[in-house]
Amino acid sequence: MTELTKTVLFTDSDGRARFRQETLSLDEGTPDSRLSAVFASAGYQLRVSPVGFRSSFHCTGQPQWVFILGGQMEIGLQGGQSRLFKPGEHFYSADLLPAGAQFDPAVHGHWSRQVGEQPLVTLFVKDL
């Protein structure tokens, strides 16, 4: 494998959150251990969300990688689309509020929730 699929949660030109797939090159390292370039980060946070957790609609405050360490996380978008992320899966959350916009929960952002019988454990790696 010389590429990694990056799922991106982003704000589209109409102000709504959407998902898209991007490819990250793994062109460093050795044939037995392919690596991406080193990316800078602004720190990380760990979170445990109890069974039954669900947020309201919100935008990501700062772009960040989200890694699911335990449990399951569902991300829901306007219009009813959602995606489920399981342990070992990840996505890049960058659905920022458009410049100059006032947050409207009927238009902007996403919601997240814990799914299943196990608490949700996540690692957030903040982008610069």
At residue 1, the pLDDT reads 73
Domains of the chain, first to last = 3-126 (2.60.120.10)
pTM assigned to the model: 0.94
What is the C-alpha radius of gyration for the chain, rounded to an integer number of angstroms? 15
- Could you tell me which residue, 1 or 127, shows the higher pLDDT? 127
> Going by C-beta distance under 8 Å and a sequence separation of 6 or more, which residues neighbour residue 40?
128
Report the distance separating Cα 45 and Cα 47, nearest Å.
7
CB of 21 within 8 A of CB of 6? yes
What secondary structure letter does DSSP report for 119? -
pLDDT in tens, 9-35: 999 999 999 999 999 999 999 999 999
In tens, the pLDDT along 83-100 reads 999 999 999 999 999 999
For residues 98-122, give the mean pLDDT.
97
Classify 86 as helix, strand or coil.
Answer: coil
